[in-house]
Amino acid sequence: MPAKNRQSKVNEVFAALVLTISLSIAGCGKSDVDTAALEKAFHAPPGAAPAQGQSPDQVSQVMLQALDAIKKNNYADGAQALQVLRSHPNLNADQLTAVQDAMAALQQQLVRRADAGDVRAKQTLEALRTMKR
């Protein structure tokens, strides 16, 4: 199976898993995951041209979905959006680092919640573990 098709299948399976628990960790209030670096990395200066083959609308839309989910403590949807961003071929080094750091912070928060007995956090962590690379 070509790598592109395999990645599509992986994304579909991940989406299905996350969809099952997408509202599981939704909450109100301030997120425990700092998104400042992620927001800064994806802020394009006025007049900046996107990288060749990169759709700024698509990348921006996914980044905004990730931020929205994380800020609402909906870590399952946030993780899914970060996974999509992480696999985008045209991210620059700062963007990729910011995505990786946000994913790490999100996973740390999930571990804290799982350790405190949050079943949904445990389910989300397990879904993430099965989908890693």
pLDDT tens for 52-82 read 455 567 888 999 999 999 999 898 899 999 9
Full-model pTM:
0.67
Q: Encoding tokens for residue 40?
A: 């800064």
Which one has a higher pLDDT value, 66 or 47?
Answer: 66
Which one has a higher pLDDT value, 18 or 102?
Answer: 102
Which one has a higher pLDDT value, 23 or 70?
Answer: 70
Which amino acid belongs to residue 102?
A: A
- Sign of the dihedral through C-alpha 51, 83, 58, 15: positive
The span from the CA of 34 to the CA of 103, in Å, is: 10
The span from the CA of 78 to the CA of 69, in Å, is: 5
Q: Does residue 115 have a pLDDT over 90? A: yes
